[in-house]
Structure 1
Amino acid sequence: MKNKYSVATLLLLGGLASTTAYAQDYSRVKSQELREDGTPALVQFKAEGNAYQLSNARTALREQLGLGSDDQLLQLKTQADDAGFVHEKYQQYYKGIKVEHATYSVHARQGRVESISGQFEKVRSLNTTPSIDASAALTRALSFVGAKTYMWQDAAEEVYLKAQENDPSATYAPKGELVVVRDMRSANPLKAGKPTLAWKFNVYAQSPVSRAFIYVDAHSGDVVFQDAIIKHAAATGSFATRYSGTQSSTTDSYNGSYRLRDVTRGSGVQTFDMNQGTNYSAAVDFTDANNSWTELNNTAFDNAALDAHWGAQAVYDYWKNVHGRNSYNGNGAAIKSYVHYDRSYENAYWDGTRMTYGDGATRFSPLTSLDVCAHEIGHAVCSSTANLTYSYESGALNEGFSDIWGAAVEYYKAPSKQTWLIGEDIDKQRPSLRSMSNPNAEGQPDTYQGTYWATGSGDNGGVHTNSGVLNHWFYILSVGKSGTNDKGNAYSVAAIGIDAAAKIAYRTENVYLTASSNYAAARTYSIQSAKDLYGAGSAQEIAVTNAWYAVGVGAAASGGGTTPPPPAPATYCTSKGSNVSYEWLDLVQLGSINRTSGKDGGYYNGTATSTNLAAGSAQTMYLSAGFASTAYSETYDVYIDYNQDGDFDDAGERIISGSSSSSATLSASFTVPTSARSGSTRLRVVMSDNAATTSCGSYSYGETEDYTVNITGGTLANQGVAATSTGAAPAALNGDNSAFGQAVTLYPNPASDVLNIALASKAPAVSATVTDLRGARVANVRFENGQLNVAGLANGVYLLTVSDGQKTFHERFVKQ
């Protein structure tokens, strides 16, 4: 039997002379955390002395894992991140045969190996010559699945797959791969795990639908493990969506009409109609004559397709703009959605290739809500990162991370929705499928092995139930919480905000977790991720640790489980720009707060960064905008919650206000009122292209950033809530040549027929040109007497360049 990789092609990290494992070298080890089987989960190295260099990564792995001559590691990939790390990931082999779910990573910075982490299997004296061949094993696998029909038996689906993959040899028919895998037939996978030689098959059943990797013991013929690929959710046109109101969404013009296809994001976002069938090859396009998709609220629920298409675009944008990830696989993969699957089908799933949505029946409405879409594509992200096995604790983590991404995408794109509920838009019978803020409300545990913890083998070991622990950890980490968990442990966790929490969660999933990771590993690796991103001993690391303590995993950080809960912190409204394609905040400087940055997805939580402000002191703040190309007129508003009552509505709390069309550094001076309340409070900076933007809510173009200021010497009493006494007008911006205030006013905006143009300088506008978002000049507009005739334009967003003969200004307008 010839294996996929011969021993000669592997990076042989063990010796060839002896089967004896190397003795582990602890002389360079700073700390080590072990898995339940005694193998290292995370090894951190000393910075001083004879440190491992990245060029000697193989030596580090050989010495720290105690590799023998039968153990090999093949380098899978190398990636660098924004924190300055280089990560090399290796796949384990035993005698040249792949060991499933066993990968190990080397993490280096500035050429020095700082740590290694992952899952290494102790395989010893395993007979690697199979007793049954792949054909016999496949018969056993299909008997185990027991489907009526399989995808490879459908000729149309086979033809469609070949065309889709542009590969004439592509087929759904399973091909056997010889691997080493843990025998997971024990009810408790943590106690199971004898390494077994097995045949691995990717079995896609058409009726009833399922898709999973099936592992068949290559000696006995028994099925020893099943890893589901389809992860069930337990259950630009103008779009009148079913669940998210009117939205703008990219489509394409084709053959005289428009269809739900978008070529601007990665390799595309495409949405198809299955007409209540089950054959993907028979799916057709949704089309609209005028790209105003307002007539689909019909008995066939066609408007659900608009949610699926817009939702997939929102998911792509979230991963690209927030985490720098190009589609779910990081390489621009197309996102395909298939709506109206089967009749009365109460599910939605990712099958490893595409999204599939049922129309629901008695329990659900069509399952195309934004958080469900983000959840399911989150499974695709997991497959390309940690690839968490879909059973027991690793499966619960898989489900939990998908819920995290459901909440994060909803917060990013639709913050007015209920971020911490999953499936609230589609559930007919209950408030939601799951609650991240109160998992018990939907029958999930909020504490590890606490109330509602699932112990049986049903639902792949309780993956949809026990995910509540990770969900609640993320919620507590984001918003903070004090209380007592099911183990009787009192906790207090400071909030770090959903954006910082998501960055830590993503790094945990993308860099550190492996296929068989459990809750203990998630705790270890998320703490390490917080250290990587924010520094050892940071507020974020402490909060991550204490949030795990709050849900019953591990010990608290210093003070996180013993001190009395502090007074409840003020809860501030959300403020976020929906689009940073053209402008964003790139400098915020006040005292020791000095942050230069690129795009932050419309909002940045910098509350872990602070500066001290003395009551009565004069201060100068510096701000600037970054622009993708053209510099537009932007409005800046800066707020400080001087009386710490959780809003910015009191007199004098808007400290700076003004507008500028410059990318240069702007400045403004203000005085901290003596009546301010001493202590930590919120600083909010809002930059928007709309002068009507307030301190709360979402807006179209621009960005919001939040920070902390510590007021000293204030006279407001430290209890109760009172307004500040100052009624001073906000300071104006300096540093720009344009007149203070909005340089150009456009009205009405949006416009249907005529757009009026008024310059703040009172000078007449002598010329005006219009370009679309691609930068192409639009010819069918007429400008005269300060008015632009836009009646002939298609609906959408346009860029206006207007001149008074000396200065040129740029603004956006919407044609509707």
Structure 2
Amino acid sequence: MNKIFYTLTGIALCLMAAPGISSAQSSGNSFRDRYYREGSYFFDDITKIRLPELFTIYKAEFGLGQDDDMVQTNNVVTDQGQFTTKYEHYHKGIPVEGSMINVIGSKGIAQYANGFLVTELNIDNSNIIPVQQAIDAAIQYVGATTYLWQDPLLEDELKAESGDPDATNFPKTADLIITKKRGEQYTADARNYQLCYRVVIHALNPSSVTDVYVDANTGALYTSQNALEHDYTATGTQWTWYNGWHNNIKTRSCGSCFNFWLHDVDRNIFTTKYGVNPWNKGSYNKDNNNNWVENDTKTASSAHWALERAWEYYINRHGRWGTNYGGKRVHVQTAASGILGTSANAGYLDANGNDNIYLSNDGSYPGSGSAGGAGYSMAALDIMGHEYNHGMIKASSALGSLGDLEAKALNEGYSDIFGNRIERYTLGTTDWSIGEATGWLVRYLDNPHNDIPTPSPARYLEPGYWNASAYHNAGGVIRKWFYLLANGGTFGGQTVSAVGLETADDIAYITYNWWLWSNVKYLEAANQTVHATVAHWGRCSQQHKQVVKAFRAVGLNVPIPLCFKIDIDGPVILQPSESAVFKVRLNEISDPNGQYSWDIPSSWNAVAQGNTLTLNSANSIESREISAKYTAADGTVSKASMVVHFSDVPWQPTNNMPVSPVSGQLELLPEQIDAINIYPNPATNTVTISIKGFTDKANLEIYDLAGRIIKSEILSVEKTNIDISGITEGIYLIKLNINGHMQTKKLSIIR
């Protein structure tokens, strides 16, 4: 059952808005006074705020200037019209890293907004150094002895497989981005942001993958970070089959060579050796009878099988087809000690259009005396699920992308939760841990104090356990919260009643996917979880009450629910011709024998009967307020009201499922078209569209943000130069139709 979104009802709530937007930054105090309260934007009055207007008509109210644009990225619309949409912030056509807004509503009408914005930016993009100068500076900063492109074997394999004699692992280009200096001491103030080139440098000796940010105006180093931000840290592993014997691993036959490869074309999951293109035959893990039991391929096949199960969990449980809702490729790379180094044995990296998951060389159990070769591995189902969940978070809330400890801790904690969930969903296990199969590297949901090798906090800032730099361990707080919510129990002076594993799963997934942002703090995340729960299950529902108790148990003192004596439950947004039913709900009243009365708009054709109001039709699409009154037997009167909007915005449900059903059988499929590259981006007068492996025609259309087609062409070769000199500066969407398969990319034009 897909559980992307639940019905939003007319029950009052507040939700956190962008913490980077202060009163001084908002140019419209009346807008802020009306909608921004308790740290939240809540569009609950008679004014109808349409989604297309939020960052056009009301743009200045969010502190955005004429050089700022909000570009819609992830967008899910259910068949009933409920939508969850993310907007990324661009300044002068250049992305502002981590600056984003979530908008939630129904049928094209916005109801809630939250997130994080960097306002008052004025970046100089008129005097930018050449890309090559930035790449040279990044290489000099890393200072490695050997780089990936200096390995002749890897270079020759790439050239041979791609058919391009000029192909190289050398970084040919770099992305322009506006970013913040890394470190807790640098606040989210515009003065701490700079226009940079982001260059990813792969070093072999010493091994590292580094995001280097080079000042695009001066060429000086601005900041840097480990690109493998979300690694599963360890210094050794234990070999086991871990998850038993299974006969549903999806592979691919190479035809006349009588070998099988770990290529699941249906799910777009490819498992190869580290350091080469996923189509490069020299990188394949091979087996001649499709029976993957030999030690030299067991880590690869175990990881491949585990990622297939993680993929199935998300599409079956949450209706999510890949991290980007469009079947994004997962590239698992084994024997990757060269990239992970000695501090980690598994890691995630979003690069080259793939969700990349790395596994180190199989090694020894700590203290066992053995080393190297085939042996102990991290390819367990829950650990692979953990790494895949990093991709889910990267594509949604981007938690920790700016290096903030608490956001990184939440990323790790949620990934632990869903690694455990994927194992339970697949195998029916009942443990509350992740990594237990390794025998020595374990994190617990029920008792983080028992984590191995280092105990973790179970409460926020818990003395003796909280470490300001150990973000993996700091995730113990959200792990403990999830356990209490799902299973119940008494902890931290609170007694929590279980809502059940499935409901806790829904609450956690909905929250991290649609209600959080890049640098969110623990308390902000807790409040957002409460708001999400109220929006989906209702104020003072059992879910609402237990979410609050569980957070207070782990030291996050979110407000205790204020339960009104009565409220009205019903849809807030309706189609002009839609009928609806509204009901009065008694929350704090034990006498059910009182009298109900309704105040019905004169333009409505509606019938009231007891606690129920049935709307048959309306003569106007103007927003209206309805109210109800309940008079108890002792004469006590309780009142409630809500605003109902009629949508006048065109909308249609999104299709986030595979084009064709995913087969459970082995089948030989043609190689898929590789990633589409657009460069340079931002561009000035010409942009190149490169489609690796392209052999057919493709239709290209360039749209502006208003949805107008600006340019269209038919592509017939692998690389095509597109003249954009006649298109004005700004942000555009490039849509490619290749044999019925749609791909959309963003393009920035600056001059």
TM-score w.r.t. the length of structure 1 is 0.57
C-alpha displacement of 1:775: 13
- 1:44 is aligned, of 42, 53, 71, to 42
Identify which range, 50-59 or 219-228, moves more after superposition: 219-228
C-alpha displacement of 1:102: 0.5
- 2:397 is aligned, of 370, 375, 386, to 386
Indicate how the Cα distance of structure 1 residues 383 and 155 shifts in structure 2: closer, same or farther if over 3 A, else same. Answer: farther
- 2:411 is aligned, of 395, 398, 409, to 398
Q: 1:439 maps to what in 2?
A: 448
Any idea what SS the aligned residue of 1:522 has? helix
Identify which range, 135-144 or 389-398, moves more after superposition: 135-144
Q: 2:87 maps to what in 1?
A: 90
C-alpha displacement of 1:370: 0.7
Q: 2:116 maps to what in 1?
A: 119
Q: Is the 8 A contact 2:158 2:168 kept in 1?
A: yes
The answer as to 2:499 corresponding to 1:515 is: no
Q: Distance in 2 between matches of 1:528 and 1:234?
A: 33
C-alpha displacement of 1:119: 0.9
Q: 1:312 maps to what in 2?
A: 307
The answer as to 2:17 corresponding to 1:23 is: no
Q: Distance in 1 between matches of 2:358 and 2:666?
A: 36
Aligned 1:95-114 pairs, distance under 5 A? 95-114=92-111
Q: Is the 8 A contact 2:251 2:666 kept in 1?
A: no
Q: 1:798 maps to what in 2?
A: none
Q: Distance in 2 between matches of 1:114 and 1:518?
A: 23
The C-alpha deviation readout for 1:556-595, integer Å capped at 9, x for no partner, is 53499xxxxxxxxxxxxxxxxxxxxxxxxxxxxxxxxxxx
The C-alpha deviation readout for 1:198-220, integer Å capped at 9, x for no partner, is 33222333333333432234456
- 1:148 is aligned, of 145, 150, 160, to 145
The C-alpha deviation readout for 1:437-485, integer Å capped at 9, x for no partner, is 11122221111111355555xxxx422121111222222221122122x
Q: Distance in 2 between matches of 1:25 and 1:533?
A: 29
Q: 1:501 maps to what in 2?
A: 504
- One-letter amino acid of the structure 2 residue matched with residue 205 of structure 1: A
Q: Distance in 2 between matches of 1:544 and 1:357?
A: 36
Q: Distance in 1 between matches of 2:228 and 2:664?
A: 39
Q: Distance in 1 between matches of 2:204 and 2:277?
A: 9
Q: 2:206 maps to what in 1?
A: 208
Indicate how the Cα distance of structure 1 residues 438 and 27 shifts in structure 2: closer, same or farther if over 3 A, else same. Answer: closer
Q: Distance in 2 between matches of 1:292 and 1:86?
A: 45
Q: 2:227 maps to what in 1?
A: 228
Q: Is the 8 A contact 2:433 2:445 kept in 1?
A: yes
The answer as to 2:359 corresponding to 1:357 is: yes
C-alpha displacement of 1:120: 0.6
C-alpha displacement of 1:535: 2.5
Indicate how the Cα distance of structure 1 residues 520 and 153 shifts in structure 2: closer, same or farther if over 3 A, else same. Answer: farther
Indicate how the Cα distance of structure 1 residues 70 and 773 shifts in structure 2: closer, same or farther if over 3 A, else same. Answer: closer
Indicate how the Cα distance of structure 1 residues 773 and 339 shifts in structure 2: closer, same or farther if over 3 A, else same. Answer: closer
Q: Is the 8 A contact 1:182 1:195 kept in 2?
A: yes
Q: Distance in 1 between matches of 2:161 and 2:398?
A: 24
The C-alpha deviation readout for 1:634-670, integer Å capped at 9, x for no partner, is xxxxxxxxxxxxxxxxxxxxxxxxxxxxxxxxxxxxx
Any idea what SS the aligned residue of 2:558 has? coil
Q: Distance in 2 between matches of 1:357 and 1:181?
A: 29
C-alpha displacement of 1:174: 5.6
Indicate how the Cα distance of structure 1 residues 27 and 190 shifts in structure 2: closer, same or farther if over 3 A, else same. Answer: closer
Indicate how the Cα distance of structure 1 residues 341 and 98 shifts in structure 2: closer, same or farther if over 3 A, else same. Answer: closer
Q: Is the 8 A contact 2:299 2:379 kept in 1?
A: yes
Aligned 1:542-581 pairs, distance under 5 A? 542-558=545-561
Q: 1:579 maps to what in 2?
A: none
The answer as to 2:457 corresponding to 1:480 is: no
Q: Is the 8 A contact 1:328 1:381 kept in 2?
A: yes
- One-letter amino acid of the structure 1 residue matched with residue 243 of structure 2: S
Indicate how the Cα distance of structure 1 residues 335 and 500 shifts in structure 2: closer, same or farther if over 3 A, else same. Answer: same
Any idea what SS the aligned residue of 1:248 has? coil
- One-letter amino acid of the structure 1 residue matched with residue 483 of structure 2: Y
Task: Figure out how many residues of one structure are paired with residues of the other and give that number.
Answer: 514
5+ residue gaps, structure 2, are 1-23, 367-374, 564-662, 668-751
Q: Distance in 2 between matches of 1:409 and 1:545?
A: 25
Q: CA RMSD in A?
A: 3.7
The answer as to 2:243 corresponding to 1:244 is: yes
C-alpha displacement of 1:306: 3.3
C-alpha displacement of 1:123: 2.7
Q: Is the 8 A contact 2:180 2:188 kept in 1?
A: no
Q: Distance in 2 between matches of 1:152 and 1:225?
A: 21
Q: 2:182 maps to what in 1?
A: 184
- One-letter amino acid of the structure 2 residue matched with residue 470 of structure 1: I
Q: Distance in 2 between matches of 1:103 and 1:191?
A: 15
Percent identical residues: 26
Q: Distance in 1 between matches of 2:65 and 2:436?
A: 53
Q: Distance in 2 between matches of 1:550 and 1:137?
A: 49
- One-letter amino acid of the structure 2 residue matched with residue 540 of structure 1: Q
The answer as to 2:69 corresponding to 1:69 is: no
- One-letter amino acid of the structure 1 residue matched with residue 521 of structure 2: N
C-alpha displacement of 1:529: 2.3
Q: Distance in 1 between matches of 2:438 and 2:287?
A: 24
Q: Is the 8 A contact 1:185 1:192 kept in 2?
A: no
- One-letter amino acid of the structure 2 residue matched with residue 324 of structure 1: G
C-alpha displacement of 1:186: 4.9
C-alpha displacement of 1:551: 1.7
Q: Distance in 1 between matches of 2:664 and 2:27?
A: 61
The C-alpha deviation readout for 1:374-414, integer Å capped at 9, x for no partner, is 11111122222222235312211221221122111011012
C-alpha displacement of 1:55: 3.7
Indicate how the Cα distance of structure 1 residues 189 and 67 shifts in structure 2: closer, same or farther if over 3 A, else same. Answer: closer
- Higher RCO, 1 vs 2 (CA within 8 Å, ≥6 residues apart): 2
Q: 1:272 maps to what in 2?
A: 272
Q: Distance in 2 between matches of 1:773 and 1:75?
A: 34
C-alpha displacement of 1:494: 1.9
The answer as to 2:421 corresponding to 1:422 is: no
Q: Distance in 2 between matches of 1:70 and 1:330?
A: 30
Q: Is the 8 A contact 2:334 2:358 kept in 1?
A: yes
C-alpha displacement of 1:149: 2.6
Q: Distance in 2 between matches of 1:532 and 1:306?
A: 42
Q: Is the 8 A contact 1:527 1:544 kept in 2?
A: yes
- 1:541 is aligned, of 540, 544, 563, to 544
Q: 1:332 maps to what in 2?
A: 327
The C-alpha deviation readout for 1:670-727, integer Å capped at 9, x for no partner, is xxxxxxxxxxxxxxxxxxxxxxxxxxxxxxxxxxxxxxxxxxxxxxxxxxxxxxxxxx
- One-letter amino acid of the structure 2 residue matched with residue 224 of structure 1: T
5+ residue gaps, structure 1, are 1-18, 35-41, 485-489, 561-771, 777-816
Q: Distance in 1 between matches of 2:503 and 2:394?
A: 23
Q: Distance in 2 between matches of 1:496 and 1:83?
A: 26
- One-letter amino acid of the structure 1 residue matched with residue 318 of structure 2: H
Aligned 1:694-705 pairs, distance under 5 A? none
Q: Distance in 1 between matches of 2:457 and 2:323?
A: 29
- 2:171 is aligned, of 162, 170, 173, to 173
The C-alpha deviation readout for 1:276-306, integer Å capped at 9, x for no partner, is x9998542333142x444x52x4x5x43333
Indicate how the Cα distance of structure 1 residues 188 and 316 shifts in structure 2: closer, same or farther if over 3 A, else same. Answer: same
Indicate how the Cα distance of structure 1 residues 71 and 177 shifts in structure 2: closer, same or farther if over 3 A, else same. Answer: same
Identify which range, 382-391 or 145-154, moves more after superposition: 145-154
Indicate how the Cα distance of structure 1 residues 445 and 89 shifts in structure 2: closer, same or farther if over 3 A, else same. Answer: same
Q: Distance in 2 between matches of 1:498 and 1:350?
A: 26
Q: 2:647 maps to what in 1?
A: none
C-alpha displacement of 1:93: 2.5
Q: Computing the radius of gyration over CA atoms, which structure comes out larger, 1 or 2?
A: 1
Q: Distance in 2 between matches of 1:67 and 1:271?
A: 44
Indicate how the Cα distance of structure 1 residues 170 and 75 shifts in structure 2: closer, same or farther if over 3 A, else same. Answer: farther
Any idea what SS the aligned residue of 2:196 has? strand
Q: Distance in 2 between matches of 1:515 and 1:773?
A: 37
